[in-house]
A and B are shown apart, each in its own frame.
Chain A
């Protein structure tokens, strides 16, 4: 494990200057996918776009279609993305062999803000009003405890299990969402999870913890107030992206990396302060797009 200064950043691209990302998915070597749209501001003129980024920084168009690509999730070679069009109406896209994407079918929901890929046949989708499970071509509405809030809840995988993180704690799906287990998080709101590690906001502070069988082992407080947007780890090192609590005072994304000697180091990356512009993977893998449309990649040195 190296120190943050050993992170090898490089500038890739170019990315089309009119590309607007809505989600970035990174691999440990800094390669990955950019999901978003191109074109003018009128929604009818937008063209959804999925860009593939190689570890060497080469950018290629993997898919394009009307509208925009709202969100995506990759798991190995499997992946799902959500295409939105004016209405709004949403369509599920799936990654195929060779990095191509195909239209799976319309999503029966009026709001979709995130998708979680479980494997090539299963994905979960969440929106402002509910949860959906996609499994082998069929969508099923899923009821989960509490009211749905697309801005305060996130779906994660814990091993092979789907976890819904809410302000009330972690809810573990069983039997495709027919039953839910609940885990109280001692007042902490889990905002990012890379099993078994979590990044949570508790009493205004960002804390890193590790899920243990019957408790949470809190590992430390991360400096800087913010909202954890992404968490990744490998070996004994981890990294965390924070949306600053006060973007006026801290314009950009805060990148937190664990120090081998203990504690965390922070870097302020000049990115728009929303989670849609950066993805993390492993201990140092990162893919981000700056407002200037410079493609920033990092991987192990």
Chain B
């Protein structure tokens, strides 16, 4: 069924917007025509760092819509600087700052992931990182494309932009294949401040759970044998961190204080790997059990049980993977020994 009786044409009701690449010529007269000289001066005087004699200030209208230009979302580290620069160009001299997210999160964390975390990841983990970088940028570009004028407004609302951007993280990470990563990639990726919230439900339960199970099964020698000297210490740290992170995550549904009990329980076990291995899982189990009533009251009866089961199932799968890796390494070692003549 079509619309009938439009009282105004489309062109009349479409908001006036500036072109994607703003022209800086003739802006002063346009601006003056809109609000007059007095208005321009009053506004310029109210904008810190906007000298009246600067030609840039003459074209600036913070309230106007200046359509953002597209930036190819190819996962490049320079993407966020380009988006930052696009805003800065559109609003040069306005006294408006680009969204803090571009540099404070996008450039900072994606750069950190790429420059620091990536080298610790398996090839699969590195591939995930590449896909996640693209997904994060595609989400921003799609938000721009579905309504460029609204995106312009959003960029000028720093808190709103931050919320929007954070809202894209879960899908960006998950759709990149987060759920298919192995234990060690999850340990490296999942313990970053951003991803760990997403992983609290199953991934980090897996990290913490597997960490203690591995130590119990293989001991420090086995772990170091498997993954290299010093791995045990890293794993202990990861287990502690994992428990803390899981606790923080489940605080939201288990009740404030759960994570503290979780961490304290782990710390009470001491720093020795054997103690951690023998007791930490029970501590976690006790804490989880004590939270069942609370979580069910929030999420519905049975939710906790299914969640814990899912976490344990994932942990079991992960342990199987590591065991397989260990067996491969042991077989290789035996072949090496067999190669020697005594």
Contact = CB atoms under 8 A, between A and B. Distances in A.
A259 interface: no
Given A9-B300, A140-B7, A105 B142 contact: no
B54 interface: no
Given A105-B3, A108-B14, A128 B147 contact: yes
A251 B192 CA distance: 14
B341 interface: no
B153 A104 contact: no
Specify the main secondary structure of chain B where it touches its partner: helix
Interface in B122-170: 135, 138-139, 142, 145-150, 152-154, 156-157, 159-160, 162-164, 166-170
Nearest to A275: B163
A267 B298 contact: yes
B74 to A, nearest CB: 13
Contact of A88 (B4, B147, B152): B147
Contact of A112 (B9, B147, B162, B197): B147
Contact of B146 (A70, A136, A248, A251): A70
A251 B150 contact: no
A136 B7 CA distance: 12
Kindly state the interface size class of chain A when it binds its partner: 35 or more
B13 A272 contact: no
B159 A108 contact: no
Contact of B162 (A7, A138, A247): A247
Nearest to B152: A128
A11 B299 contact: yes
A71 B263 CA distance: 43
A108 B149 contact: no
B282 interface: no
Interface in B154-192: 154, 156-157, 159-160, 162-164, 166-171, 174
A273 B197 CA distance: 12
A9 to B, nearest CB: 5
B303 interface: yes
Contacts of B148: 88, 111
Nearest to A296: B299
A2 interface: no
A268 B150 contact: no
A113 B147 contact: yes
B161 to A, nearest CB: 8
Contacts of A5: 297
Interface residues of B, number: 58
A150 B157 CA distance: 10
A117 B166 CA distance: 29
B252 A11 contact: no
A157 B176 CA distance: 41
Nearest to A11: B300
Interface stretch (A141-149, A216-224, A233-241): A141-149
Interface in B10-67: 10, 12-17, 63, 65
B261 interface: no
A247 B166 contact: yes
Contacts of B135: 41
Given A137-B4, A227-B159, A150 B153 contact: yes
B1 A102 contact: yes
A100 to B, nearest CB: 12
A86 B138 CA distance: 15
Contact of B150 (A43, A104, A150): A150
Name the residue among A110, A149, A244 with the largest chain B CB count within 10 angstroms: A110
A5 B298 CA distance: 8
B228 interface: no
A138 B166 contact: no
Contacts of A251: 166, 197
Contact of A9 (B154, B201, B299): B299
A20 interface: yes
B5 interface: yes
Given A9-B299, A273-B166, A41 B142 contact: yes
14 contacts: A41-B138, A43-B142, A84-B147, A105-B3, A105-B4, A110-B17, A127-B150, A129-B15, A136-B5, A151-B156, A247-B167, A269-B252, A272-B168, A273-B167
Interface of B: 1-10, 12-17, 63, 65, 135, 138-139, 142, 145-150, 152-154, 156-157, 159-160, 162-164, 166-171, 174, 193-194, 197-198, 201, 249, 252-253, 297-300, 303
Interface of A: 5, 7-11, 20, 41, 43, 68, 70, 84, 86, 88, 92, 102-106, 108-113, 127-130, 132, 136-141, 147-152, 227, 243-245, 247-248, 251-252, 267-270, 272-274, 276-277, 291-292, 296
